[in-house]
Amino acid sequence: MPFTTRAAVHVKHGQPLDVTEISLPDPGPNEVVVELFASGICHSQLHQIHNPDTPTPALMGHEATGQVIALGTEVTHVREGQRVMLTWVPRDVTTETGRDRNFSRTSWSLGGEEQAGPNIYTWAEHVLAHQQMVLPLDEDVDTDVTAIVGCATVTGVGAVLGSAKVPAGSTVAIYGVGGVGINAIAGAKIADASRIFAVDLSDEKLEFAKEFGATDTINASEVDPVEAIVELTGGGTDFAFDAIGYEITMRQILNTVRAGVLGAGDRGGTAVLIGVPQTDATIDARALLMGERNYIGSLGGSSHPMTDFKQYIEWYKQGALPLEKMISVKYDGLDSINEGIEALESGNISGRSIMIYKGT
């Protein structure tokens, strides 16, 4: 039977989100209804909020934990009452339900008017999601800090270990050490990188980055980070990751990585774009060619969640992926969403902030 829940709705550009009641229909054959425990507040959602092309009204958020309360007839990988993680990365497109990669948009109603919703949203107390965005969560782990696995972890750790496949002993630079950046640092540490450079404009965030494995920190407001890293490494790092997506950082990561050696079969380093770009960027094409450097994009860590999320949780259990340290602020409930957005926009969040909807 259709029911109502509360959600943070983006109604008008430039205005705070409206925490209000929405109506959800019964789940379709490939849909799951989840009562949420916690949700992360991701910086990429700010781009949607400020983008005048974003259709409104809109539901937002894309990383969370919760408990299944209803499911469609074709959903077999989770059961009612089971703990789950929610993510924006399809869990397994090799399955029959995910093979066409055209995941249906869910529906919801606001004020009696039916809306076409995204296939995942988490700034709500209940979610109607496509089954591809729902994965099992172990019963013996916390349900608050694990809420960030669905975006911050898969994007950051995944970029290092999935997209770039950083080998042990490599040197790595990460530009931007927010929620995704510190996960990239943690991923580089798991990969056993020999030197991990954290680059940011905030000394507080740089100090925070050391807790996750950063061996060197560079404040880009005080020195040219490219020049500093090239000098400190004697030529540049093996890998550089841009977790911001600004025009300047998209250029910097290419020049941060080392050049290859012509005639030795040694290609140059690899620059990896993680952050969602809000503009085009002009890169140093000569450095790309003459140094045989590589420039790649990483979307969702090139991951296969059905396999990778299990590994992330295992690393969390072992202490190798300290999710609990990554959470710097926990907000009490959905009514705190606009406070959380303002804090994130102001640069006052080290790591990740989350909203706690329900105790476990």
Per-residue pLDDT of the chain (360 residues; tens, 9 = 90+): 678 999 999 998 888 999 999 999 999 999 999 999 999 999 888 888 888 888 889 999 999 999 999 999 999 999 999 999 999 999 988 766 555 555 666 788 998 888 887 888 999 999 999 999 999 999 999 999 999 999 999 999 999 999 999 999 999 999 999 999 999 999 999 999 999 999 999 999 999 999 999 999 999 999 999 999 999 999 999 999 999 999 999 999 999 999 999 888 889 999 999 999 988 999 999 999 999 999 999 999 999 999 999 999 999 999 999 999 999 999 999 999 999 999 998 888 888 999 999 754
**Does 118 share its domain with 46?**
yes
Q: Residue-wise over 185-195: b if at least 16 C-beta within 10 A, else e?
A: bbbbbbbebeb
Q: Domain containing 237: what range?
A: 165-297
How many structural domains does the chain have? 2
DSSP, collapsed to helix, strand or coil, labels residue 256 as: helix
Quick check: 2 and 24 in contact, CB under 8 A? Answer: yes
Burial class (CB in 10 A: 0-12, 13-18, 19+), 208: buried
In the block, residue with structure tokens 């045989």: 292
Task: Give the count of beta carbons closer than 10 Å to the beta carbon of residue 154.
Answer: 27
> Are residues 110 and 242 located together in one domain of the fold?
no
Strand-strand pairing, 58-59 and 3-10 = antiparallel
Three-class DSSP category at 247: helix
Peptide bond into 57 cis (omega under 30): yes
Amino acid sitting at position 76: T
Same domain, 219 and 346: no
171 and 117 in a common domain: no
Residue 160 lies in a domain: no
Alpha-carbon distance 305 to 180, whole Å? 17
Co-location of 49 and 132 in the same domain: yes
Q: The domain spanning residue 135 has which CATH number?
A: 3.90.180.10
Residue 159 in domain? no
The verdict on 313 and 293 lying in the same domain is no
Q: Do residue 169 and residue 290 come from a single domain?
A: yes
Structure tokens at 200: 């940011």
Tell me if 62 is assigned to some domain: yes
SS3 318: helix
Q: Which of 297, 321, 346 is the last residue of a domain?
A: 297
**Inside any domain, residue 157:** no
Q: Which helix (H) or strand (E) holds 180?
A: helix 179-190
Structural tokens at position 275: 């952050």
Among 252, 269, 297, the domain-final residue is 297
Tokens of 276: 């969602």
Same domain, yes or no: 35 and 145:
yes
Q: Are residues 240 and 141 in the same domain?
A: no
Q: Collapsing DSSP states into helix, strand and coil, what is residue 93? A: coil
* Local structure of residue 164 (DSSP, 8 states): S
- Phi first, then psi, for residue 353 (nearest 5°) are -110, 150
Integer Cα distance of 318 and 327 in angstroms:
18
